[in-house]
Structure 1
Amino acid sequence: MTEGNVYDWLQRRPLLLDVPLAVALALLGLVILGEGHGSGWAVVGLANLALVWRRSRPATAFAVVSLALAVRVLPTSNLLPGDIAFLVALYSLAAYDRRRSVRLAGLGVAALGSAIAGVRFAAVSGQVPGPGEFLFTFVACAAASLSAWTLGDLKRARLQRLADLQDRAERIEREREQELRLAAQQERASIAREMHDVVAHALSVIVVQADGAAYAAERSPEGALARSVGALETIGSTARDALTETRRLVGVLRDPESGAELAPTGGVDQLGDLVAGVRAAGVPVSLTVRGTERPRAMGLDLAAYRVIQESLTNVIKHAGAGAIAVVDVEQGPDLLRIRVSDDGVGARSLDDGHGHGLHGMRERVAVHGGTLTAGPGAGGGFEVLATMPTEEPR
């Protein structure tokens, strides 16, 4: 066991030091007073047992030891080894009592005791001590008392600093845990948006293809096989893509220390694949990307992709049969503008009220300091317009 471990172990078990110290000083006073002045005065030495409570009740221990020393000076005019109990009690009072007034009062008692010691212990054969003898004894006792009190006060200051550092460490730990909880909540919200975009888009395509195949089988049984094969291929491709994205997102939850393979996917350069999938679902889509390709932050690029994906998903779900969608992306030097419109039934479509697509798109755009508006278009249908400032990636 190292020295620091021994000290910490003893600090947690103070009675292992205080009880032997109190018993030793009490027996010392009991023996010396008993030998020189009889058993009646020897009982005064037992007051040193109060040092057992010098940490838990320092004021009480100091008061008991001080009174015992005041009584002890009556039968003898000599300093005794057991008188060191007063210095121990004074040290404990300064170290462990939290009341400043009580600590200063203990210092005053020590000064008064030093004056009494100068008169009592400097006397020779009952004679009044001279000025030099009084001054020497007073200064010696006062210096010893002041040293004990100062050491105790330094001990108290050190304990207070340790308590403050421990409190600060606990507070920092609580703040860190709170930050981790907030980060986890933000991550869950981000993953929820990702899952919504992926699953909603995939399921919308699958539903449209399945309904189309069923309609074809009912209206034209002779050509249903060929149409069903195309629909099933689109369903399979869309489902595989959605499954891949879902596995990636779940992988983030299972292994938060994973590398780039779990980073967000999707960007403006992948809009061609997205539009192709929507066209395969039976919705005509035209895509226009204007401006020069510029470096963008990954999060900004992903947000643009998800806004377009969610907008096209809404076209599939709500625009109605025969609707045509238009995607226009303008890559300016300072802004990225996205416009997705259709000529379908727009705001007149039925809504179950449980969707979070528009709200999620606004959150994505707002994170990057942009704005998003959505509503009926000027010439009918529905229009989504998003504008986000671009910046060089750090």
Structure 2
Amino acid sequence: MILWRSIWREPRPAGAPPVSRLDWLLVSGFEAAALVEGLARADLAGQPFVTVLAMALTPALLWRRSRPLLACVAGFGVAGVLSVIQLSTRSGDLGLYSMMVVLILLYSLVRWGAGREIALGMPFVAAVVALGMSATSAGGAELVGGSLLLLLIAALAAVFRYRAALWQRQHREIRNQERLALARELHDTVAHHISAIAVQAQAGGVVASSQPLQAAQILAAIESEASRTLAEMRAMVRVLRDDEWDAYAPRLGVADLAGLARTDSSPAIEISLAGAVTRLPAPVDAAIYRLVQEALTNAIRHARSATRVGIEICRVGEVVRVRIADDGLPHPGPGPEPGFGLTGMTERAHLLGGSLAAGPGAEGGWVVEAELPAEVRA
């Protein structure tokens, strides 16, 4: 009962293609085949009525995806009418070989129909097939062979139907993962820029009364930082909204770290690169930039009396080591609770097969250390 309800409520598969030139060619081909067969088999009972009926049925192929139940009922309805005529007149075979078009309509019913359409259409198909077998006085072998053929077509359609549904589900999961990654990028970017704005605003409040010229420069820096934040945020939100992954600007990497080390920033930022770290795979390159950016954001926001933040990136063999440390005062107590930023950093490292650790440094301050593979294996 539960299975029946599940089938009955199942919607039509998404992504049914519209009528195309190939569909018109298919209809034209069957129309021509029916006409040629009707002319070649002039002695067939019921001519020319049978040929006209077959040619009138063929356009139902154009509806097989948009109205699968109607198309299937029309096709097998014509076959049923011929079987009734054959039974009532006790005439010979009335069917043309081109009437096999009804098998395509059966396939389309299972492939593109809703659950209730399949549940209503299949009994009708079975009844018409049984009527046709009776009209032709089919033997046991023909009955079994015909039934197996119909079941094979229905099973093939069901396989393609659920294979497509599985692919769409996997595609949605991939897109959701991409959305999550972009949301993390949005968090990292906005957090970094907002932290820089907050630091500049605090400095502006200190020098506003005594050094108005420097305060004006700080306000200009705040305006520039805010504009960059809005621009990057809008770009990412546009991607999240429109699913235009290719429109997203290239991700920043190790070569762009110099943009984080502004000379007017406090604490001072020093970057040290060692080894071949400028031609890393794109995922590793982007992950290093975001790890450094998030760690730097945390240092600016939380480091107590820090005057320097050291960023060291070194490649040793197939491993890239990243270390970000500040010289701030030790945190009282057990240290801050890990937030979204630290969680995101850890997830980035683990997704690439690396590791990340963060905690108080031996000489004070806060240290973030990560190890990432230099090559991403498929």
Which TM-score band applies after superposition, normalised by the shorter structure?
A: 0.5 to 0.7
Question: Shift of the alpha carbon at 1:254?
Answer: 4.7
Runs of at least 5 residues in structure 1 that lack an aligned partner in the other structure: 30-52, 62-84, 92-145
Q: Distance in 2 between matches of 1:233 and 1:350?
A: 39
Per-residue CA deviations over 1:260-316 (Å, capped at 9, x if unaligned) read x6243211111111111xx53321122211224452111111100110110010011
Identity of aligned residues (%): 29
| Equivalent runs, 1:1-394 vs 2, <5 Å | 2=28, 3=30, 5=59, 11-13=72-74, 14-19=76-81, 21-22=83-84, 25-26=87-88, 55-56=126-127, 88=135, 91=138, 146=139, 149-217=140-208, 221-223=209-211, 225-257=212-244, 259=246, 262-276=248-262, 279-293=263-277, 295-348=279-332, 355-391=339-375
SS of 1:158 mapped into structure 2: helix
Offset from partner CA, 1:94-117 (integer Å, 9 cap, x none): xxxxxxxxxxxxxxxxxxxxxxxx
1:237 aligned counterpart, secondary structure: helix
TM-score (normalizing by structure 1): 0.63
**Is the 2:304–2:328 Cα contact (8 Å) retained in structure 1?**
yes
Q: Is this contact kept in 2: 1:310–1:357, CA < 8 A?
A: yes
Does the CA contact (< 8 Å) of 1:318 and 1:346 recur in 2?
Answer: no
* Cα distance, 1:20 vs structure 2: 5.5
Structure 1 pair 56/28, CA: closer, same or farther in 2 (3 Å)?
closer
Structure 2 residues not aligned, in runs of 5+? 1-26, 31-57, 65-69, 92-123
Aligned length: 284
Q: In structure 2, give the amino acid aligned to 1:222.
A: S
Partner letter of residue 314 of structure 1?
N
- Alignment partner of 1:56: what SS? helix
Deviation of residue 388 (structure 1)?
Answer: 0.6
Q: 2 CA distance for matches of 1:182 and 1:270?
A: 31
Per-residue deviation, residues 174-195 of structure 1 (Å, max 9, x unmatched): 1112112101210111011100
Greater relative contact order (Cα < 8 A, sep 6+)? 2
Amino acid at match of 2:281: A
Question: SS in structure 2 opposite 1:321?
Answer: coil
Amino acid in the other structure paired with 1:369: G
Structure ranking higher in helix proportion: 1
C-alpha separation between the residues in 2 aligned to 1:186 and 1:54?
43
1:54 positional shift: 9.5
Tell me by how many angstroms 1:160 deviates. 1.2
1:352 to 1:305, Cα distance in 2 relative to 1, 3 A: same
- The structural deviation recorded for 1:363 is 1.1
User: Which amino acid is the alignment partner of residue 135 of structure 2?
Assistant: V
Q: Give the match for residue 10 of structure 2.
A: none
Partner letter of residue 257 of structure 2? L
Q: TM-score, normalised by structure 2?
A: 0.66
Per-residue CA deviation, residues 107-128 of structure 1 (Å, 9 max, x unaligned), is xxxxxxxxxxxxxxxxxxxxxx
User: 1:12 corresponds to which letter in structure 2?
Assistant: V
Taking only aligned residues, the RMSD between alpha carbons, in angstroms, comes to: 3.3
Instruction: After TM superposition, give the deviation of residue 157 of structure 1 in Å.
Output: 1.7
Which is greater in Rg? Answer: 1
Shift of 1:326: 1.2
Residue type at the aligned position of 1:56: A
